């Protein structure tokens, strides 16, 4: 293999898209670029009070163009000429209604401002009722069509979102030919796809969110969906039966995109996948080591040889799919609906009224007010973390339940809400922040316990993502609560790096993705180990968390 081969990894996150150029021999990051979605940043098409979070496809297209061209400009012509492939990961489940050409409806002027014609972001929970209907409906069949998604379908996923959109918007319903995940649409776009029948759907998205399974020879039958609601008639036909792993090629760059990006049209585009699944590969996942991608939410990934689990299915997780992470191995997914979002919510609750007062101040000029606003936002969480670390640990400390955006796993339930317990007149912001950190870590332990109780060992933890890299206090609390070490991966961009590894494999530069991981992996740069003196405190607090969670759940609406 030549030393001058490069690949591009593109990682679509909740707030932004980032691209990196990587040397396929050493894993060296040659250039990187980040683009924040302009419409999303303005809060367009979203209504947090109704759990509606939509993203315009133009945000994705503009970000793709901006980050790749910026990377290439930084890297220079010699690198651009030797780019061999592009890999894509996205959040998920983040699907969209498309026409017969595979174009998202929001790119049609008639639907340009219609949120229902846009991508329905993973954190959009407007379809909680539809998810509940799917769960009830599935009990009526001899075949358990939910067995490979933990036995519970979530409002964060493919079919619930489709049914909600079809019911909600007649114009979109009449124009919608198929329903496509973001991670499948971007490779289709880059390769110049013009017919929805030609779109290659990833086994990652189809298996974890779309109910596709080898045991069903594809998706559940059309009757399963039409008996749920006739509006779903025919959609399984539009999806096809075949799915693809991300070490396979979706095609090569179309002439239009090759010219737009300044790349050869021989560049291979790999089949896409979800961010955490590719992030686990970028973070050099090992069998039975739980890879935790910690950002706005968490997505926990574990891989195991398929022969080890046999017919065993793990209840209450987000799916187990052959080849969804590493081809040839079983990929198991779990996660939390709100992790970094929990801290961001608390920060905004404090900063927002202060921000308004700063803006209205007669003392500060506009520039100073803006700088002070930014400084407060940037420094608040680090400050609270430092102060929380100093607090004495008492069993009657404030306690939180972390379901501020519902519960993803174990046992998905988006009707659940967060709660705070044990507040008094001495409670301050630091104490509440401490309780939120502990709650998110307790929620993470619930996932580990579920795997272990279902007979799947967890031999170690791998921390990835922004929270893992930049929040020592949170990671130490995590290690103490889990009572096991957490290795933090060196790469700042494990999801994009994983996408680059799959790109290198799809282009034939490596025979399998494990070889790409070995050569392109960057290793680990920190380890958090449990403090034996503190572990017993958290073991007792964990029992309190479980008791408070059970009480909170008993008062929630039933699914």
- Is 305 inside any structural domain? no
Distance CA 336, CA 548 (A): 18
Q: Are residues 452 and 500 in the same domain?
A: no
Cβ–Cβ contacts within 10 Å for residue 539, how many?
Answer: 13
- Per-residue pLDDT, 1: 44
Q: Which residue range forms the structural domain that includes residue 362?
A: 340-490+529-554
Indicate if 354 and 500 belong to the same structural domain.
no
Q: Indicate if 432 and 504 belong to the same structural domain.
A: no
pLDDT of the residue at 80:
94
Q: Does 118 share its domain with 266?
A: yes
Q: Look at residue 358 and give its three-state secondary structure.
A: helix
Dist. CA 431–CA 394, nearest whole Å: 11
* Per-position b or e across 186-196, b if 16+ CB within 10 A of its CB: bbbbbbbbeeb
Asked, for residue 360, whether it belongs to a domain, the answer is yes
Nearest to 487 by CA among 506, 508, 456, 464: 464
pLDDT at 465: 86
The span from the CA of 463 to the CA of 517, in Å, is: 17
How is residue 137 written in tokens?
């409906």
406 and 448 assigned to the same domain: yes
Q: Are residues 483 and 496 in the same domain?
A: no
Residues of the chain with pLDDT under 50: 1
Q: Token match 């036995």: residue? A: 151
The three-state secondary structure class of 387 is helix
| Overall domain count for the chain | 2
Question: What is the per-residue pLDDT across 382-432, written as a single tens digit (0 to 9) for each?
Answer: 999 999 999 999 999 999 999 998 999 999 898 899 999 999 999 999 999
Report pLDDT digits (tens) over 76-115. 999 999 999 999 999 999 999 999 999 999 999 999 999 9
Whole-angstrom distance, CA of residue 161 vs CA of residue 177: 15
CA-to-CA distance for 121 and 177, rounded, in angstroms? Answer: 20
Side-chain-side CA neighbours of 550 within 13 Å: the count stands at 6
- CATH code assigned at 134: 3.30.420.40
- Percent of the chain past pLDDT 90, that is, above it, reads 93
Same domain, 500 and 546: no
Q: In the block, which residue shows the tokens 């670029």?
A: 33
Could you tell me if 254 and 350 lie in one domain? no
Q: Over the stretch 230-243, which tens digit does the pLDDT of each residue have?
A: 999 999 999 999 99
Structure confidence by residue, pLDDT tens digits, 272-313: 999 999 999 999 999 999 999 998 889 999 999 989 988 889
Please indicate, yes or no, if residue 455 is contained in any of the structural domains.
yes
pTM across the whole model:
0.91
244: its two tokens: 């693809």
Output the average pLDDT for the chain. Answer: 95
Token code pair at residue 23 = 């040397």
> Can you tell me the distance from the alpha carbon of 446 to that of 280, in angstroms, rounded to the nearest whole number?
20
Q: Are residues 274 and 168 in the same domain?
A: yes
Tell me if the bond preceding 93 is cis, omega within 30° of 0.
yes
Q: Is residue 307 part of a domain?
A: no
H-only helix segments in 37-192: 38-41, 57-75, 77-80, 128-138, 158-168, 170-175, 182-190
320 part of a folded domain: no
Q: List alpha helices for 233-365, DSSP H.
A: 235-239, 255-261, 275-282, 306-309, 340-359
Cβ partners under 8 Å of residue 536, min gap 6 = none
182, 92 in Cβ contact below 8 A?
Answer: yes
Domain shared by 475 and 509, yes or no: no
Cα separation, 367 vs 385, whole angstroms: 28
Let me know if residue 273 belongs to a domain: yes
- Give the number of residues written for the chain: 559
Confidence at residue 3, expressed as pLDDT on a 0 to 100 scale: 63
Q: Is residue 327 part of a domain?
A: no
> Which helix (H) or strand (E) is 554 found in, with range?
helix 535-554
User: Tokens standing for 134?
Assistant: 């799917």
Instruction: Specify whether 510 is located in the same domain as 548.
Output: no
As a whole number of angstroms, the longest Cα–Cα distance in the chain is 71
In-domain check, residue 15: yes
On whether both 61 and 16 belong to a single domain, the answer is yes
């Amino acid at each position: 293999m030549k030393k001058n081969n490069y690949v591009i990894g593109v990682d679509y996150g909740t707030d932004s898209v980032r691209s990196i150029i990587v040397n396929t021999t050493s894993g060296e990051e040659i250039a990187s670029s980040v683009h924040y979605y302009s419409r999303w940043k303005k809060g367009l098409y979203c209504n947090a009070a109704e759990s509606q979070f939509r993203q315009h496809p133009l945000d994705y297209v503009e970000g793709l163009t901006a980050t790749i061209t910026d990377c290439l400009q930084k890297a220079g012509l010699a690198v651009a000429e030797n780019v061999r492939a592009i890999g894509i990961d996205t959040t998920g489940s983040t699907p969209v209604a498309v026409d017969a050409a595979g174009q998202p409806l929001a790119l049609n002027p008639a639907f340009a401002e219609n949120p229902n014609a846009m991508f329905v972001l993973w954190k959009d929970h407007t379809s909680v009722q539809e998810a509940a209907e799917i769960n009830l409906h599935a009990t009526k069949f001899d075949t358990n069509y939910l067995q490979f998604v933990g036995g519970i379908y979530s409002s964060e996923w493919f079919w619930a979102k489709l049914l909600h959109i079809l019911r909600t918007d007649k114009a979109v319903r009449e124009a919608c030919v198929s329903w496509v995940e973001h991670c499948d649409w971007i490779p289709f776009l880059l390769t110049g796809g013009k017919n929805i029948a030609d779109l290659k759907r990833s086994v990652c998205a189809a298996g974890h969110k779309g109910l596709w399974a080898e045991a069903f020879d594809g998706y559940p039958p059309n009757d399963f969906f039409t008996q749920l609601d006739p509006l779903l008639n025919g959609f399984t036909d539009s999806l096809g039966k075949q799915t693809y792993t991300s070490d396979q090629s979706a095609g090569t760059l179309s002439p239009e995109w090759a010219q737009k990006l300044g790349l050869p049209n021989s560049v291979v585009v790999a089949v896409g996948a979800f961010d955490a699944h590719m992030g686990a590969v970028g973070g050099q996942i090992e069998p039975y080591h739980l890879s935790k991608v910690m950002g706005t939410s968490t997505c926990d990934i574990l891989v195991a040889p398929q022969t080890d689990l046999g017919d065993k299915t793990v209840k209450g997780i987000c799916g187990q799919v052959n080849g969804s992470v590493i081809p040839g191995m079983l990929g198991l997914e779990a996660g939390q609906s709100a992790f970094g979002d929990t801290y961001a919510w608390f920060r905004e609750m404090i900063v927002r009224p202060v921000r308004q007062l700063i803006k209205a101040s007669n003392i500060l000029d506009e520039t100073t007010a803006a700088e002070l606003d930014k400084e407060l936002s940037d420094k608040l969480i680090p400050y609270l973390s430092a102060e929380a670390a100093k607090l004495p640990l008492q069993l009657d400390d404030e306690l939180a339940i972390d379901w501020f955006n519902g519960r993803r796993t174990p046992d998905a339930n988006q009707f659940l809400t967060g709660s705070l317990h044990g507040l008094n007149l001495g409670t301050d912001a630091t104490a509440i922040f401490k309780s939120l950190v502990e709650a998110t870590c307790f929620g993470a332990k619930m996932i580990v316990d579920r795997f272990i109780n279902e007979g799947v060992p967890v031999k170690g933890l791998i921390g990835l993502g922004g929270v893992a890299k930049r929040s020592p206090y949170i990671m130490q609390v995590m290690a103490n609560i889990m009572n096991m070490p957490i290795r933090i991966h060196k790469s700042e961009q494990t999801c994009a790096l994983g996408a680059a590894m799959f790109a290198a494999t799809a282009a034939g530069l490596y025979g399998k993705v494990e070889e790409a991981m070995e050569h392109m992996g960057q290793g680990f740069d920190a380890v958090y180990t449990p403090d034996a003196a503190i572990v017993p405190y958290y073991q007792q607090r964990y029992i309190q968390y479980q008791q408070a969670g059970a009480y909170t759940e008993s008062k929630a609406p039933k699914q």
